[in-house]
């Protein structure tokens, strides 16, 4: 049986993560999802409104709850047995059907809210999103070769800091690096290609007119998504990484340790 999930052309899934109903983020999702609906059949998961529980727990093991062993492996067994919590199954079905994933959230403490991190923990389950071995190399099929290949992701993030503060030399850290665990460590890990971030800086001081300007900017971005190229992350199986250490070969950007070395030249 093919364990990879083929997306349905023309389907998109928008995962929205903000608790306030009168927020800038709410204004953006209304405008953005309406614009996206002109190109795709869109499903929306409002994690706070839906009451999604972000905590991975024993209930995610189904009948294997209390059984000793590796948690990732046990959740994989639970998935194979069909013992998946209904809210997680719903998200997996929506994601499996989508060729475009939109993740929208505010930057809290220099990362996504716990709600979205929990969505990743529970939804990108072993057996569903990853856990396959490559027959020819014996290496795990991950970093560009996971079970969710054939999809792209757009990340929309609002940040209170300005662009310089969240830039390469800013005191808050480079936003690209801050979100690397999501763009590379989660999405690319399971095979989802990532488009350039869509960032709203200085979000705390945006007034009504500013909200409309940013909504129009997002609508314009969405209209041109089909012509965008995804980030050129290196694939694990392409030969740039040592098979034993899974670290880049010494002759690839020697001496460098910044995260940009994981992009193809």
Percent of the residues in the chain that have a pLDDT greater than 90, as a whole number: 85
Residues 121-167 have pLDDT tens digits of 999 999 999 988 777 777 778 999 889 999 999 999 999 989 999 99
Q: Which residue in this structure is represented by tokens 């719903």? A: 90
Question: What pLDDT score was predicted for residue 136?
Answer: 76
More confident residue, 1 or 101: 101
Contact between 185 and 129 under an 8 Å Cβ cutoff? The reply is no
Confidence (pTM): 0.94
Tokens of 47: 């994690």
What is d(CA 163, CA 98) in angstroms, rounded to the nearest whole number? 31
CA 20 to mean position of chain CA atoms = 22
Residues 51-64 have pLDDT tens digits of 999 999 999 999 99
Does the pLDDT at position 263 exceed 60?
A: yes
Report angle CA 225, 231, 232 to the nearest 5 degrees: 135
Residues 166-209 have pLDDT tens digits of 999 999 999 999 999 999 999 999 999 999 999 999 999 889 89
Contact between 49 and 56 under an 8 Å Cβ cutoff? The reply is no
Does the pLDDT at position 261 exceed 80?
A: yes
Tokens of 218: 């997002």
**Which of 1-5, 24-28, 181-185, 192-196 has the weakest average pLDDT?**
1-5
- Sign of torsion, CA 252 255 261 265? negative
Residues 225-246 have pLDDT tens digits of 999 999 999 999 888 999 888 9
Contact between 72 and 129 under an 8 Å Cβ cutoff? The reply is no
Q: Kindly indicate the confidence band of residue 2, based on its pLDDT and cuts at 50, 70 and 90.
A: very low
Does the pLDDT at position 27 exceed 90?
A: yes
What is d(CA 151, CA 43) in angstroms, rounded to the nearest whole number? 15
Looking at beta carbons, which pairs linking 134-141 to residues 24 or more positions away fall under 8 Å?
134/237, 137/237, 137/243, 139/236, 139/237, 139/243, 140/236, 141/191, 141/237
Question: What pLDDT score was predicted for residue 121?
Answer: 97
Does the pLDDT at position 1 exceed 70?
A: no
Q: Kindly indicate the confidence band of residue 48, based on its pLDDT and cuts at 50, 70 and 90.
A: very high
Does the pLDDT at position 260 exceed 50?
A: yes
Does the pLDDT at position 100 exceed 90?
A: yes
Q: Kindly indicate the confidence band of residue 3, based on its pLDDT and cuts at 50, 70 and 90.
A: low
Q: Which domains does the chain have, with CATH numbers?
A: 11-231 (3.40.50.360)
């Amino acid at each position: 049986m093919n364990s990879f999930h083929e997306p349905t052309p023309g389907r998109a899934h928008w995962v929205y993560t903000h608790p306030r109903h009168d927020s800038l983020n709410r204004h953006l999702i209304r405008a953005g999802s309406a614009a996206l609906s002109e190109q795709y059949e869109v499903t929306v998961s409002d994690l706070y409104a839906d009451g999604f529980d972000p905590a991975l727990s024993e209930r995610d093991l189904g009948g294997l709850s209390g059984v000793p062993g590796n948690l990732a492996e046990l959740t994989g067994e639970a998935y194979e047995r069909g013992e998946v919590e209904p809210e997680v199954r719903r998200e997996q079905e929506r994601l499996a059907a989508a060729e475009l994933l939109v993740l929208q959230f505010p930057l809290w403490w220099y990362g996504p809210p716990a709600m979205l991190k929990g969505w990743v923990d529970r939804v990108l389950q072993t057996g569903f999103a990853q856990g396959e071995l490559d027959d020819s190399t014996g290496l795990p099929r991950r970093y560009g070769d996971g079970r969710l290949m054939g999809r792209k992701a757009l990340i929309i993030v609002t940040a209170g800091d300005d662009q310089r503060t969240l830039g390469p030399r800013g005191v808050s850290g480079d936003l690209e690096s801050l979100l690397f665990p999501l763009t590379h460590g989660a999405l690319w890990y399971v095979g989802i290609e990532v488009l350039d971030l869509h960032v709203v800086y200085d979000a705390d001081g945006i007034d009504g007119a500013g909200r409309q300007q940013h909504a129009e900017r997002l609508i314009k971005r969405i209209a041109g998504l089909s012509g965008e190229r995804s980030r050129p992350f290196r694939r694990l199986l392409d030969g740039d990484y040592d098979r034993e250490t899974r670290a880049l070969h010494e002759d690839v950007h020697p001496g460098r340790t910044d995260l940009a070395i994981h992009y193809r030249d």
